[in-house]
């Protein structure tokens, strides 16, 4: 008789683990190092739009992390109007498999993983690419990933000023209140994009527009700052790429796929190509290339989401849950 079980972790089990900032950052950093060392496989994400009238789509991310001995597939729904139904905009499942046999090993709620690994990638990018002592953070967007952007960035830098903005006043005000409570410092809520971003040392654009709209003015970016735009729909005008000293990507394969993302209009217009990119972030994590080399460098880091980050954080969560006895075992098959 052959019996196979799958380990399962839902949101309650993951919440009970109370992951620390450093646990999240360390897991993602190890995944990035593996990527830089050529020990991962990342397939460009795929999209499924069931019906344009639903104002949402699914992202399917696929990857393999050799040091962890896991292949993984994450399916995440990204539906803008979910707040009207009392739901997060992003809901997801991560499936982990044995890379040698294809046997399913675990199913993990990945809505929180998506938020945490995105925030960790933003923060680690800033660790290697940002100014030495950034004082001001400007953050556009208030969705789930935004919280972890700000929380993990502030964990690394302890900003003197944090500015936030999003389209809906109730959203940005609630976002600021949560950050104030959790970070123990004042958060400035701005009424527009310019007052949020202008002359900030680190500028994050994580908006949720319905279509590409060039709203992020290049003149707001001061010399020596770090810009991290990763909204699904581009907000960057075509002249935004002028005067950028370094372009860094999470994974260059991601810029070859799909029609979405911050720099997609610039690629389509022939203004930027793979040759313009200085490095992938994994190369910097692994020490193969330096990150910021001069204080006056203006750097743009574009990340679209790495499946290997989902796998790395999912594996770390699974390991901690096992140690605490929080894992549910589900019967997958039982052969006579």
Give the CATH number for residue 225. 3.40.50.720
Confidence at residue 10, expressed as pLDDT on a 0 to 100 scale: 96
Return the biggest CA–CA distance within the chain.
69
pLDDT in tens, 313-336: 999 999 999 999 999 999 999 986
Q: How many angstroms separate the CA atoms of 75 and 85, rounded?
A: 20
Opening angle at CA 162, ends 161 and 168, nearest 5: 145
Do the Cβ atoms of 212 and 233 come closer than 8 Å? yes
Tokens of 280: 């992938």
Pure H helices in the chain: 11-17, 21-36, 111-129, 144-157, 169-183, 193-197, 264-268, 281-285, 307-324
Domain assignment of residue 66, given as a range? 2-113+308-335
Pairing of strands 299-302, 246-249: parallel
**What CATH code is carried by the domain that includes residue 331?**
3.30.1780.10
Mean pLDDT of 48-62: 92
Question: Based on the domain organization, do 192 and 233 belong to the same domain?
Answer: yes
Position 283 scores a pLDDT of 98
Give the pLDDT confidence of 253-301 residue by residue, as tens digits. Answer: 877 766 778 999 999 999 999 999 999 999 999 999 999 999 999 999 9
Residue 248 pLDDT greater than 60, yes or no: yes
Gap between the Cα atoms of 18 and 245, Å rounded: 39
149/278 same-domain check: yes
Dist. CA 308–CA 205, nearest whole Å: 22
pLDDT higher than threshold 70 for residue 1: no
Query: If you search the block for the tokens 């079980």, which residue do you land on?
Result: 5
Q: Are 38 and 78 within one domain?
A: yes
- On whether both 23 and 98 belong to a single domain, the answer is yes
Asked whether residue 319 falls in the same domain as residue 297, the answer is no
296 and 313 part of one domain:
no
DSSP 190: P
Asked whether residue 268 falls in the same domain as residue 300, the answer is: yes
Same domain, 145 and 202: yes
336: number of Cβ within 10 Å? 4
pLDDT given at position 289? 98
Return the CA Rg of the chain.
Answer: 20
Residues 73 and 182 in one domain: no
Q: What percent of the chain lies above the pLDDT cut of 90?
A: 84
Task: Give phi and psi for 316, each to the nearest 5.
Answer: -65, -40
CA–CA dist 71, 62 (Å, integer): 8
What would the pLDDT profile of 29-39 be if each residue is shown by its tens digit? Answer: 999 999 999 99
Summary mean pLDDT of the chain: 94
Residue 234 and residue 286 in contact, taking contact as beta carbons nearer than 8 Å: no
The length of the chain, given as a count of residues? 336
pLDDT for the residue numbered 257: 67
DSSP structural state of residue 82: G
Q: How far apart are CA 320 and CA 161, in angstroms?
A: 34
**What is d(CA 304, CA 45) in angstroms, rounded to the nearest whole number?**
9
Based on the domain organization, do 94 and 229 belong to the same domain?
no
Average pLDDT for 238-261: 89
Stated pTM of the model = 0.93
From the list 320, 322, 276, the residue with the least C-alpha distance to 300 is: 276
Task: Kindly state whether residues 134 and 256 are assigned to the same domain.
Answer: yes
Residues of the chain with pLDDT > 70, as a percent, come to 99
Question: Who wins on pLDDT, 305 or 107?
Answer: 107
Tens of pLDDT, residue by residue over 116-140, are 999 999 999 999 999 999 999 999 9
Q: Are residues 100 and 169 in the same domain?
A: no
What is the per-residue pLDDT for 270? 92
Q: What's the domain count of the chain?
A: 2
Average pLDDT over residues 148-164: 98
pLDDT tops 90 at residue 212: no
């Amino acid at each position: 008789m052959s019996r196979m079980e799958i380990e399962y972790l839902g949101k309650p089990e993951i919440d009970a683990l109370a992951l620390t900032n450093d646990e999240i950052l360390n897991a993602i950093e190890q995944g990035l190092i593996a990527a830089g060392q050529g020990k991962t496989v990342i397939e460009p994400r795929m999209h499924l739009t069931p019906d344009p009238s639903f104002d949402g789509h699914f992202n399917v991310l696929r990857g393999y992390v050799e040091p962890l001995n896991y292949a993984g597939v994450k399916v995440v729904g990204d539906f803008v109007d979910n707040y009207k139904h009392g739901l997060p905009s992003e809901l997801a499942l991560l499936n982990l498999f044995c890379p040698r046999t294809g046997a399913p090993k675990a199913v993990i709620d990945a809505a929180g993983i998506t938020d945490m690994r995105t925030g960790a990638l933003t923060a680690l990018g800033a660790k290697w690419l940002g100014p030495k002592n950034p004082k001001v953070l400007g953050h556009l967007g208030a969705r789930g990933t935004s919280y972890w952007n700000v929380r993990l960035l502030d964990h690394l830098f302890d900003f003197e000023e944090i500015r936030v903005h999003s389209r809906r006043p109730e959203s940005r005000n609630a976002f600021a209140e949560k950050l104030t409570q959790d970070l123990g410092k004042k958060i400035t809520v701005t009424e527009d994009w310019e007052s949020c971003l202008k002359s900030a040392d680190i500028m994050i654009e994580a908006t949720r527009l319905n279509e590409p709209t060039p709203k992020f003015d290049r003149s707001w970016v001061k010399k020596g700052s770090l810009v991290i735009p990763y909204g699904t729909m581009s907000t960057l005008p075509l002249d935004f790429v002028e005067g950028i000293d370094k372009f860094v990507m999470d994974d260059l394969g991601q810029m070859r796929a799909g029609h979405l993302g911050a720099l997609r209009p610039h690629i389509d217009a022939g203004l930027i190509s793979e040759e313009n990119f200085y490095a992938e972030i994994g190369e910097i994590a692994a020490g193969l290339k330096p990150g910021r080399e001069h204080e006056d460098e203006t750097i743009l880091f574009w990340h679209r989401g790495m499946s290997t980050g989902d796998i790395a954080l999912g594996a770390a969560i699974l390991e901690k849950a096992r140690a605490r006895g929080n894992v549910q075992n589900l019967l997958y098959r039982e052969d006579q």
